[in-house]
Structure 1
Amino acid sequence: MPKNGVRIRNFRNNEHFEHDDRSHNNTRRVSFKPGTNKGKNKWNNAKLLLDDDIDMTGSAGGVPVHRKGFRGRGGRLNSPAPRSGHGMPRKKFIAGVLPWYQITIPHGAKHEKDVVLHALLSYLSPDIFIPHYYKINGNSAIFYVDDVKLAEKLFHADRKIVMSDGFKLMVIVRNAVPNVNVDAAMKEKMKLAMAKRYNAVTKALDLTKFHADPDLSDLFCALFRPVIMLVAIDIIAENIPDIEALNLNDNKLHGIEHLRSLPTKLKNLKILYIGDNRIPHIGSLEALKALPLVELYLKGNPLLNRFQDHDIYVSSVRKKFPKLTKLDGVDLPPAIGFDVLENVSLPPRQQSFLVDPAGQGLVREFLTQYFAIYDADSRQPLLEAYHEHATMSMAANYLTCDNRNYSNQRLNAYLSNSRNIMRITDPDSRRRYLRTGRLQVVSFLSDMPKTKHDLMGFSVDLLVYTPTMILLTMAGVFKETVTAGNPLRSFHRTFVIVPNAGGGFCIINDILFITNTAKKQEELAFSSGAEAAPAPAAVPAAAPDVASAAPAPDDNAQKMMLNMLSQQTGMNEHWSVNCLQETGWDFQRALFVFNQLNSEGKIPPDAFVK
């Protein structure tokens, strides 16, 4: 026997309730097994219920449960829900994005304006509000308020104010702004309202709460609307372009991007008040960064709540306005800076720097010879340019991740041998990517892509110039000559140069960094003739040539250089001797001259007949 004496009858498919109006072919199985409906009410179809009295039971055990939202005995399904106070939750006020709210009083037209407003003010007392743009629209009275707290209180005044005729005043509140149409008449009224707010002595214009000006009571003239603010700025720039102070406090400004024209139209503006507005964050002030402000008022804006430390707030504002001396009505301490005149300009930039002008000749000759060989078909002659125990490392990296998406900007030929110590932390790996000895160095350089350097685009710095060591750094652009598309690369290179035992100089340390070119580098690359040698700037033309002052090598050294030049160039002894004599027995220079003349086809075939 079921609980509570309820007898359960199992109906066959062709049976139905007395008042059931369902069609016979629409079968529906009902199960009373626990968990079948998983806690959800499946009895939503009105045709499944009886038209007579309904027992609203909600538990499987048959315990009657009073269900809110339905009438008692005699009530019918889908009857209207009861009003507030009869089981339904009260409506909630939701603040809008805009700072304006439209108040609609249905049937408010049958009462005088003063009567309606007096009733509302009496209910809200001691709070008061200013009804903007009151008008009658059909049977309704409509006005606007510009305060969210007052809008919420008016929202809760709905049906709580009883008029003299017993009518309960309905109050509808929604987030909306009045329509605006900026025409010539409106501009003229704005101009007259500004004229009375301008102080010609202090050159200050006070536009505080401009929309509430009595002369603009019949117009919606809120400065937080960009179209109105831009018109106001144009009026100011046209009539008082020398204005120095502007007060925009309490104008509901939630964004100031439309103030970006102030620096160009009001160039003398030094004092700006934009307090008690809704400016959200410090980044919004970027639009005013070009103004030469000495005083700024921001108090009352949400952006101040983002700073827990007042000093950080002051510092952040000062970064945007370095000349600021007063913030939020408080004098600021003098900013820490250099005691220099404001109009002092920095010295002109130099493409190159020489710690000693006497090194100009060496720098010119060294770079010309080295990169002539480096850019040649074979880099084997560079063996003579490196010290026997020289070390060399190369690192490569992308300027941005976007460069990896373009095939001609990929650095695959360099990344596999890159000694980037920011990524390679294992000591053994670091040693493996470090080339030691002239054979390893030149072999590594020979395996790198063939290149052509823009010598005239080099920036060269001679940092150390002593008889025992020279430190030389350079940066520039080169292109890969045998790679598809001839991509451009940017590089930075450092040479440590020491005297050679046989005379001249050699490289003992070489550090190379390669990356993608910047846009400006691509525009200027090879634009001034890449064949010429780089000339360091601001260096006297008559600087002595250190290389030419080196003593002539002895007979044994001459014979050794003669044999090496003949082997590397393929010239016979006669032409090799002439080449060395004309270059002062400077092997590197002689090799460079040969490569230069040979590439131009100026060496006759007789020079190679032995």
Structure 2
Amino acid sequence: MPKRGGGRNNRNWRNNDNDHFEHDDRIRSNNTRRVSFKPGTNKGKNKFSNFPNDMSKLMLDDDIDMGAQGGHGGHGGPRGPMHKGSFRGRGGMRLNSPVPRGHGIPNKKFVAGMLPYYQVIIPYGAKHERDVVLKALLSYMSPDVFIPHYYKITGNAATFYVDDASVAEKLFYADRKITMSDGFKLVVIVRNSVPKVTIDAEMKEKMKLTMAKRYNATTKALDLTKFHADPDLTDIFCALFRPMIMLAAIDIMEENIPDLEALNLNDNKLHGIDHLKVLATKLKSLKILYMGDNRIPFLGSLESIKALPLVELYLKGNPLVNRFRDHEIYVSDVRKKFPKLTRLDGADLPPAIGFDVSEVLTLPPRQQSFLVDPSGQDLVREFLTQYFAIYDSDSRQQLLEAYHENAIMSMATNYLTNDNRNSANTRLNAYITNSRNILRVTERESRRRYLKQGRLQLVSFLSDLPRTKHDLMGFAVDLHVFTPTLIVLTMSGVFKETVTVNTPTRNFHRTFTIVPNGSGGFSIVNDMLFITNTTRQQRDEAFATSLPEASTSSAPAPAPAPAPAPAPAAGGDEAAKMQAMVLLSQQTGMNQHWSMNCLQETGWDLQRALFIFNQLQSEGKIPPEAFVK
């Protein structure tokens, strides 16, 4: 009885459809299985003897086996078709192994790979003409069609590549389903693999010529859509999803069209794009980029190109787009990476909410103070000097004249985030108990209770606060509104508590709303005060500049209260009136008649008269005859 698996008369073994390469698996007397690929070992049987010795490397380089289960002796089993010690006999079972109960021959299953190309191997395909093999495959797959790339004969085998997973799956299941004219069934092996390529000068020249015909010099745009399928590149593998090929293409662009503004990379099977970060340095004028119908998985993959100043981007057809259920969120997240984007996926975007300052512009210089009307500068300076002279004195009772009878005030205070609240210098206990911080005081009645209403209650509250000295020269003052009927003034600065231990410094922000009063002066109707601790820089810079020396002129000193004195009674100092009229006439250019009328209407308050003159003059309401002398 012949030994199992050996002998030339064992025609079942030789003609077994599951054995593509017809290995010699004869079992010796010691039951040790041996394998030999030497020519002549199986004379008349090893029809694949002309297959090159490095074919195993060709098939296994960057390959992923498409068969999820065994069952056909050319491409079954997870360990690969030619792994030593894993040869199988009929039905894909290991020799000398018992047949499993209740199980038939397992079916092979196609599993899509990560690579975008699939290698198709036809053992003994050299026996037939190229058109014959392809016609047989196309006939089987009809009505579906495919394009074979890089068809060639290697030894006795025919190989080519396809770039579509659905086509690869249909070819995978065509194995041994097609009977050729000589009666043999066509063996089809499908592997997830890409062709090997060496980028040399000849290949770069072909790429350069192909890119030249796709370049539009008028729009400075280069269209590389489905670059690998260009008719001029059919004889070489030039897929841009391979990083080394993409980088070679970018080098060609940098050398020949460095001012490129638009680049189309649609339908190139791009997946990982980390290497595209060189675009920002090599193509600095690039503003339009199309990468649709590729395989970019996540929005985070675009980090590599976020340095590009893109105004238009096309991403439709990538898996990353489908990860967003809300289109508005998708648009928002893309714009976070590309703030200058005005067009996305072929649709115009609404104007972005925010600030986009051009790099070529510079911000205006910082100002210590802002005055909506420069004519209010003197009035503001005088007001602040008088108010804080009283506030920093031993008695704040004189501030009664500065506030309106129905004035309202609120104070809020808060600690800085880095304050040590156990330190005596940073404790705000003198202010925190009366703080109307609406983030903390949420009840309506409590908020009302923390308001100080009426000038008596208001000045009494101010008198109970710690004694202070303000750094007037360090104030930042903003005059927001300056009209004859309303003044809105804000300021911020630093003061120190003069009677507190260690004289701690505080930072404050204050807003005054001021209106004219019945006596020709001004009164504060609303006062908002915020107090916190100073930063280290504020402490170091506080009181660095001293106040200017008092004027030694014979002009009378200003009144201690911000409200000017009322008009003098009849029969008063006529000389003082005449002096005010002359000063107003000199500063305004009006004649004495109009200057006197202006002073009479303002109760002989020179500052008030100047303020009203500047306001009316800016509105064009002063007639020309007022300047006729």
TM-score (norm 1): 0.51
1:434 aligns with 2:451: yes
Query: Counterpart in 2 of 1:69?
Result: none
How big is each residue's C-alpha offset from its partner over 1:563-597, in whole Å with a ceiling of 9 and x where there is no partner? xxxxxxxxxxxxxxxxxxxxxxxxxxxxxxxxxxx
Aligned 8 A contact 2:471 2:495 in 1: yes
Query: 1:552/1:429 Cα in 2 relative to 1: closer, same or farther (>3 Å)?
Result: closer
Q: 1:512 to 1:192 in 2, by over 3 A?
A: farther
Distance 1:266 1:357, change over 3 A: same
Q: Does 1:248 align with 2:265?
A: yes
Structure 1, residues 70-107: CA drift from partner, whole Å, max 9, x if none?
A: xxxxxxxx956589966x686363x55x5614436495
SS at match of 1:421: coil
CA shift, 1:495, in A, is 1.6
- Whether 2:226 is the aligned partner of 1:206: answer no
Call closer, same or farther: CA 1:343–1:92 in 2, change over 3 Å.
closer
Query: Residues 421 and 181 (structure 1 numbering): CA distance in 2 closer, same or farther, change over 3 Å?
Result: farther
| 2:240–2:268 contact (8 Å) kept in structure 1 | yes
The superposition leaves residues 116-142 of structure 1 with CA deviations (integer Å, 9 ceiling, x where unpaired) of 655544433333334456678999877
Q: Distance in 2 between matches of 1:451 and 1:139?
A: 101
Alpha-carbon separation, structure 2, partners of 1:80 and 1:453: 99
Q: For 1:503 and 1:335, how far apart are their aligned partners in 2?
A: 50
Residue 462 of structure 1 is matched in structure 2 by 480
Q: Does 1:151 align with 2:168?
A: yes
CA distance in 1, matches of 2:129, 2:472: 83
Task: After TM superposition, give the deviation of residue 209 of structure 1 in Å.
Answer: 1.0
Tell me the distance in 2 between the aligned counterparts of 1:463 and 1:445. Answer: 29
Residue pair 2:321, 2:330 contacting (<8 A) in 1 also: yes
**How many Å separate the matches in 2 of 1:289 and 1:530?**
47
Matches within 5 A, 1:133-532: 144-158=161-175, 160-161=177-178, 166=184, 169=187, 171-174=189-192, 187-200=204-217, 203-217=220-234, 220-225=237-242, 228-243=245-260, 245-254=262-271, 265-266=282-283, 273-278=290-295, 287=306, 290-291=309-310, 300-301=317-318, 328=346, 348=364, 351=367, 352-367=369-384, 390-395=407-412, 413=428, 419-421=436-438, 424-436=441-453, 437-439=457-459, 441-442=461-462, 445-446=465-466, 456=474, 458=476, 460-466=478-484, 469-474=486-491, 492-497=509-514, 507-513=524-530, 531=545
Q: 1:119 to 1:509 in 2, by over 3 A?
A: same
What SS is found at the alignment partner of 1:474? Answer: strand
Show structure 1 runs of 5+ residues with no match.
1-77, 535-544, 555-610
Task: Give the equivalent residue in structure 1 for 2:119.
Answer: 103
Following superposition, the deviation at residue 395 of structure 1 comes to 4.5
Shift of 1:408: 9.1
Post-superposition CA distance 1:131-176 (Å, at most 9, x none) = 45667899987765432332333444455456667456353444x6
Question: Residues 431 and 323 of structure 1: is their aligned pair in 2 closer, same or farther, counting only changes over 3 Å?
Answer: closer
Asked if structure 2 preserves the Cα contact closer than 8 Å seen for 1:393 and 1:512, the reply is yes
SS in 2 for 1:496: strand
Is 2:143 the partner of 1:126? yes
Q: CA deviation at 1:199?
A: 4.3
Deviates more, 1:138-147 or 1:183-192: 138-147
Q: Using the alignment, how far apart are the partners of 2:110 and 2:198 within structure 1?
A: 33
Q: Equivalents in 1 of 2:158, 2:294: separation in Å? A: 29
Counterpart residue identity of residue 460, structure 1: D
The verdict on how the C-alpha distance between 1:503 and 1:246 changes in structure 2, with shifts beyond 3 A counting, is: closer
Deviation at 1:500? 8.0
Structure 2 residue matching 1:446: 3-state secondary structure: coil
Partner of 1:576: none
Tell me, in whole angstroms, the C-alpha distance in 2 between the residues paired with 1:523 and 1:181.
62
1:550 aligns with 2:564: yes
**Residue-pair matches, total:** 443
CA pair 382-446 structure 1, distance change in 2 beyond 3 A: farther
How far has the Cα of 1:323 moved from its partner?
A: 9.3
Corresponding residue number in structure 1 for 2:109: 91
C-alpha displacement of 1:287: 3.4
Residue 361 (structure 1) shift? 2.0
Could you tell me whether the CA contact under 8 Å between 2:148 and 2:160 is conserved in 1? yes
Q: Equivalents in 2 of 1:516, 1:116: separation in Å?
A: 87
Deviations 1:479-504 (A, max 9, x none): 999999x9997x65322235689997
**Separation (CA, whole Å) in 1 of partners of 2:158 and 2:480:** 84
Are 1:457 and 1:526, in contact at CA under 8 Å, matched by a contact in 2?
no
Write out per-residue CA displacement over residues 36-61 of structure 1, whole angstroms, 9 at most, x where no aligned residue.
xxxxxxxxxxxxxxxxxxxxxxxxxx
Superposed CA offset, 1:367-408 (max 9, x none): 45666888x79896896666676543345679xxxx858869
Q: Note if contact 1:267-1:291 (Cα within 8 Å) is conserved in structure 2.
A: no
Q: 2:506–2:531: 8 Å Cα contact kept in structure 1?
A: no
State the SS of the aligned residue for 2:512: strand
| Secondary structure of the corresponding residue to residue 489 of structure 2 | strand
Q: CA RMSD in A?
A: 6.3
Label 1:548 to 1:267 Cα distance change in 2 as closer, same or farther (>3 A).
same
- Partner Cα distance (2:409, 2:360) in 1: 44
Residue of structure 2 equivalent to 1:565: none
Quick one: structure 1 residues 441 and 333, their matched pair in 2 at CA, closer, same or farther if it must change by over 3 Å?
closer
2:458 maps to amino acid: R
How far apart are residue 210 of structure 1 and its match? 1.3
Letter in 2 for 1:290: P
Distance across 1 between alignment mates of 2:436 and 2:185: 87
Amino acid at match of 1:100: P
Contact 2:342 2:350 in 1 (8 A): no
CA distance in 1, matches of 2:183, 2:254: 55
In the alignment, the residues of structure 2 paired with residue 108 and residue 452 of structure 1 have an alpha-carbon distance, to the nearest angstrom, of: 99
C-alpha separation in 2, matches of 1:326 and 1:184 = 37
Distance 1:128 1:185 in 2: 32
| Cα separation, partners in 2 of 1:418 and 1:389, compared to 1, 3 Å | same
State the one-letter code of the partner of 1:287.
K
CA separation of 1:110 and 1:183: change in aligned 2, threshold 3 A: closer
Distance 2:321 2:435 in 1: 48
Identity over aligned pairs, percent: 55
Once the 2 structures are TM-superposed, how far is the Cα of residue 192 of structure 1 from its aligned partner? 3.3
- Residues 216 and 494 (structure 1), Cα distance of their counterparts in 2 relative to 1, 3 Å cut: same
Report SS of the residue matched to 2:252: helix
TM-score by length of 2: 0.50
